[in-house]
Amino acid sequence: MNISGGLGGLNTTNTNNQQQATETSQPAGLGGGIGGGIGGAQPTANSTNTTTPAPSSNIVSLKKGQKVSLAKSAQGAGVNGPLTTVKVGLGWDTNKYDGQNEFDLDVFTFALKADGKVRNASDFVFYNNKKIPEGAIVLSGDNRTGAGSGDDESVEINLTSLPPEIEKIAFCITINEAETRGQNFGMVDNAFARIVDAGSGTEFMRYDLSEDYSIETALVVGELYKHGGEWKFRAVGSGFTEGLVALCAEYGVSAE
Ligand SMILES: [Ca+2]
Ligand SMILES: [Ca+2]
């Protein structure tokens, strides 16, 4: 699929709880994609990082598979009062790649119902659809190089104005035109997600993806999800070899 062509053909096939039809119509979407298990290497500190403060003891540092309460983590990092708007910053570096093509990674965010599917294609937030209709999830923009150690692209979520039927938000990174350019996550370093209280600018949670990816062309970095009335973050770190097509199949968006 030509992602730069605008994804004009995306349609949800799941507006009436037809997720089974979606799954069976995209059987190859997740083939062999999900990365290895929990228990890999420890997150490594980035000694060249000069623009983002090193994680302190007040910032929860997640390992793959770990789930943490947003409110408790924020409180532990000194955020006063209830969380309203959080920023999920995602970053990466591509300095292992010396090919001729552009190497453009993109954040894709899926706003999901309790069944893990989008309401419709407008809940699929990316560079050509930078927010959901209610405006409670907004993508910063499209970084084309990944240069620098801070956030390369970020997503702001207003937890108080999210539609109540949105119970999960998945944050993914894909490589634009990975197949035609012969690029994969084996050429990507220092991928991370971090969560910041947008009001105070306080970072309170960080997940450094420590796994060595190879042929994958899409990553599910993590998920915000509502559990017992409270928002939590799960560090997922799963790679997919079928790129955006696999993600769309997973979350009920039909990519044609
Ligand atoms: Ca980009
Ligand atoms: Ca970067």
pLDDT tens digits, one per residue of 145-159: 999 999 999 999 999
Would you place residue 255 in the very low, low, confident or very high pLDDT band (cuts 50, 70, 90)? low
Q: Indicate the residue type of 56.
A: S
- Has residue 115 got a pLDDT over 60? yes
Strands (E) located in the chain: 11-12, 60-62, 67-69, 85-93, 105-112, 124-125, 137-139, 153-158, 168-175, 189-197, 202-208, 218-227, 230-240, 253-254
Q: Classify residue 22 by its DSSP letter.
A: H
Query: Is residue 17 in a domain?
Result: yes
CA distance 36 to 41: 12
Query: Is residue 150 in a domain?
Result: yes
Average pLDDT taken over every residue of the chain: 83
Q: What is the pLDDT of residues 88-105, one digit of tens each?
A: 999 999 988 888 899 999
CA distance 221 to 228: 23
Distance 184 CA to ligand 2 centre (A): 16
- Has residue 86 got a pLDDT over 90? yes
Report pLDDT for 52: 54
Its pTM stands at: 0.79
Query: Is residue 42 in a domain?
Result: no
Report pLDDT for 253: 92
Sheet holding 189-197, edge to edge: 60-62, 202-208, 189-197, 85-93, 153-158, 137-139
Report pLDDT for 66: 98
Q: Which ligand is nearest to the CA of 153?
A: 1
Distance 188 CA to ligand 2 centre (A): 10
User: Average pLDDT for residues 35-56, to the nearest whole number?
Assistant: 45
Report pLDDT for 192: 97
- Has residue 18 got a pLDDT over 50? no
Worst-scoring range by mean pLDDT, 26-35, 72-81, 93-102, 190-199?
A: 26-35
- C-alpha distance from residue 233 to each of 11, 70, 78, 168, 206 (Å): 28, 7, 18, 9, 10
Query: Is residue 98 in a domain?
Result: yes
Distance 142 CA to ligand 1 centre (A): 4
State which residues form the domain around 16. 6-33+58-254
Distance 144 CA to ligand 1 centre (A): 4
Query: Is residue 121 in a domain?
Result: yes
Would you place residue 49 in the very low, low, confident or very high pLDDT band (cuts 50, 70, 90)? very low
- State the CATH number of the domain containing residue 205: 2.60.60.30
Q: Which two tokens stand for residue 158?
A: 């207003």
Report pLDDT for 99: 87
- Side-chain-side CA neighbours of residue 29 (13 Å): 20
Report pLDDT for 256: 54
Report pLDDT for 123: 97
Distance 24 CA to ligand 2 centre (A): 37
Assess contact for 164 and 122: CB atoms under 8 A: no
Query: Is residue 160 in a domain?
Result: yes
Q: Which ligand is nearest to the CA of 152?
A: 2
Query: Is residue 52 in a domain?
Result: no
Distance 72 CA to ligand 1 centre (A): 32
Query: Is residue 39 in a domain?
Result: no
Q: Indicate the residue type of 229.
A: G
Residue 23 class from Cβ within 10 Å (0-12 exposed, 13-18 middle, 19+ buried)? middle
Distance 175 CA to ligand 1 centre (A): 8
Q: What is the pLDDT of residues 3-12, one digit of tens each?
A: 444 444 444 4
Assess contact for 177 and 4: CB atoms under 8 A: yes
Q: Which residues fall within 8 angstroms of residue 73, CB to CB, at 6 or more apart?
A: 60, 195, 204, 205, 233
Q: Which two tokens stand for residue 46?
A: 């980035």
Q: Which two tokens stand for residue 181?
A: 């350019």
Report pLDDT for 93: 95
Would you place residue 16 in the very low, low, confident or very high pLDDT band (cuts 50, 70, 90)? very low
In sequence order, the β-bridge partners of residue 112 are: 168
Report pLDDT for 53: 53
Would you place residue 35 in the very low, low, confident or very high pLDDT band (cuts 50, 70, 90)? very low
Pick the more confident residue, 54 or 219: 219
Tally of domains within the chain: 1
